Amino acid sequence: MKMATSLLLGSAAGLIMLGGAEAADLAVKAKPVEYVRICSLYGVGFYYIPGTDTCIKLGGYLRADMLVNSNSVDTGNTSGAGAAGNRFTNAFTWRARQYVEIDTRTATEYGVVRAFGQLSFTWTDDTQAGTGAGGTVYSLLPGTTNGAAPFNAGAGNNSFGSFGLYYAFMQFAGFTIGKAQSQFSMPWSNYPGNNFDGLVGGGGSVIGTNQFSYTAEFGGGVSATISAQDPIQSTQAGVVNVGVGASGLGTAALGPFGTSDYAGTYAPDFIGNVSVDQAWGMVRASVAAHDNHAAYYGANELTGHPNDVWGYAAQLGATIRNVPTGPGDTINISGVYTNGATRFNIQDLSQGAAMTIFGGTNLPGAYQSIGFGMAPDTVFANNGGSQQRIQTWGMRGGFNHNWNPYWSSSLYGAYAGVMYSSGAKTLICGNGVTGGSFQAFYGAGVTSCNPNYGIAQLGLVTRWTPVKNLSFSADLTYTHLAQNMVGTVAYPGSNAIGKPAATYELKDQDTLLLLLRAQRNF
């Protein structure tokens, strides 16, 4: 009996110990896993940031470009080595870009709070510059050491890697604060027909402009915006001191059209627009006021300065959707007029406000031909004169057509006309033959001086999209400079672009550019 009792007690103790061991091995109850949830409040692609009520969307693209007959990006050979038309002009330029977009939104009692950013990381081939002694160097790049070939073929010296902050803005209760698209621009900015960066005929920097704006929504797609915008980045075309002294002659140091003479910033650009955006399309009217704030006539404040002159711009544009030619087809068109606010027509990437293009000639005694197109905001003389505003007008448009789900094309074009006032013409051209800074700089061969000019552009792009968000395109753009100078100039030469001092015929010029692009959106 005693033995049986011991066995029973031992078995019970063993069972108790076994039960305790099994209990110790049981997992502690885990916290719920926070899975990423789709946010359907703001469209496709948004997700809730775990643990918050903020929705985020990540996107962007990877792009590879090859530009034929270009020394820079997709803007055209209208100045510098690209416009020289010689061995300093690149047959092609390569570019690769990674672009990242971050969009966050949070619903609040005051409406949606939005923070938006666009970043780009770009690698672009650079261009050669002459040394004047038969050698070349790559043009100056941040953080690189330049040297005569073949040294510049070394790593880090033959290309330009750059970081770009395109947009970085907040939106809240109708306010837009930060670096965003200019409120003067049409929604399609510089691209009525996509792709090409260099169109004239309307304002709008594609990399955003610092601003403080307020938009009021009235319902039915009707809205109005007022804005104060930073003028430095993209809307200053130049307040130019033409270097006309008491003798009425230009100086070689300043050149035929003078030199930029900006003071520090004094006032922002003031912009307003009214938009109607509905299913059939969109119409927008924009106005802008731009302060031209010059520094001094001479080297210091004792020389005095011209008074500020306000310029202005007005633009009207439209988008027509559901065109009968096919589903998704659109027409974009706009027109603009400026007076002392040139960049709202000839935008910063177009290079159309500072054109010097070389070409051939059949004129006996002339080495080559040259065409000028200069359009600052104002010009003034350093002998106490006031600022003389430059007027421009322009238009741009594009027709976008889808052939089928895989192929599409766009036909686009633009024009800008530049008109100097009588006072501005007198400073540049005197009486039209003698007495102005242009003839003083370039000699008596100028038989008729007129700084007015026009820029005409026409382009066609075709895209193949074999799968969603992957496209290949070819974009051909023609640019024509119609200048009004007659005669010849004694061009002083430029070692940087390999042009000798010689007699050049004043003549209209043309340039052609081909962009081949592969792009993957995500």
Return d(Cα 433, Cα 472) in angstroms, integer. 52
The stretch 424-451 carries a mean pLDDT of 86
Question: What does the chain come to in residues?
Answer: 522
At 1, the pLDDT band (50, 70, 90 cuts) reads very low
Tens of pLDDT along 104-147? 999 998 899 999 999 999 988 878 888 788 877 776 554 444 44
d(C-alpha 391, C-alpha 314), whole Å? 12
> What is the helix (H) or strand (E) element at residue 210, kind and residue range?
strand 209-219
Residue 387 has φ and ψ, to the nearest 5°, of: -70, 135
Residues 131/140, Cβ–Cβ less than 8 Å: no
Q: What is the pLDDT of residue 184?
A: 96
Q: What architecture (CATH level 2) is domain 61-521?
A: Beta Barrel (2.40)
403-417 pLDDT, tens digit per residue, is: 999 999 999 999 999
Q: Against a cut of 0.75, is the pTM above it? A: yes
- Residue 517 pLDDT exceeds 90: yes
Strands 281-292 and 378-380: unpaired
Question: Closest Cα partner for 244 from 444, 374, 423?
Answer: 423
The per-type count for the chain, helices as H runs and strands as E runs, is 3, 27
Most confident of 49-58, 68-77, 124-133, 380-389: 49-58
Query: In this predicted model, what pLDDT tens digit does every residue of 211-261 receive, in sequence order?
Result: 999 999 999 999 999 999 999 988 999 999 987 543 443 444 456 688 889
What 189-192 contacts at long range (C-beta under 8 Å, 24+ apart), as own/partner pairs, is 190/347, 190/349, 190/350, 191/398, 192/332, 192/333, 192/334, 192/396, 192/397, 192/398, 192/412
Average pLDDT on 502-514 reads 96
What pLDDT is recorded for position 194? Answer: 80
CA distance 407 to 403: 5
Across 91-105, 430-444, 468-482, least confident range: 430-444
Name which of 95-104, 241-250, 304-313, 502-511 the model is least confident about.
241-250
Given a contact cutoff of 8 angstroms between Cβ atoms, the answer to whether 169 and 321 are in contact is: no
